[in-house]
Structure 1
Amino acid sequence: MSTVIDGEFHTGDIGYIDEQGFLYVVDRLKDLIISGGENIYSSELEQTLAQHPAVADVAVIGVVNEQWGEVPKAFIVKAKDVKVSVEDIIEFSKEKLASYKAVKEVVFVDQLPRNAVGKILKQRLKEMVSIQ
């Protein structure tokens, strides 16, 4: 697929321009989660969950859900010597975000898959989910 279409450069990023003309990039189109017709930006959930003291690292993807189409699923690396449960993380997200944005599933992992420059490989997380 070409990134240049009709003379326009398509990056796959989602963003907006504010009243002053500043451009804000909020997420990647391929990482957008559509749940019950609502758009959920995985980056917003990741930034929120990263504020929890028990979260050392986090990535969020959308997983198929019969009722909602997709729901957010968080993969979390716990901070050392901190106890936290799936319910704690879900409740924290409900407190900080609109209810439709809150994570519905949580998996604790030892590490997140990354490429050579440190970028999280969300496709690998999606592959892990499809295997289960």
Structure 2
Amino acid sequence: MTQILGPKERKMSDAYVDMAATWTRELVQRESRGPGDTKNAMKRLSARHGIAYATLWALRYRRPKDMLVSVYGRLREAYLAETERQLRKLEQEIEITRAIAGADCRSIRSAQALVDASIGGETAE
């Protein structure tokens, strides 16, 4: 039997699909190595995070009306993992720059403040 969603449930479903589509777009953008690499980037993300390529493709090009909670959860975990990986890379770059330019460099303080603010409380919700 098919369940018909009311307006409130439809809005919630749309919000989750929109968030998943945003995460997918950002993940693919981060993974892409340049123009023409979108398909390969989605395949790499699929293999790394266990999300079907077709799901990534659909969220990028033809948003579904609804999605499984398990898929949403995997996308959320993938987004958080990639964000943490980017923060670790930024911290490494800060350390390298600090060794070259010194700890009093304004750009180092700004980058460190950005990392500290990101660690301080943003989540993917």
Same fold (TM over 0.5): no
TM range (shorter): under 0.3
The TM-score normalised by the length of structure 1 is 0.25
Q: Could you tell me the TM-score, scaled by structure 2's length? A: 0.26
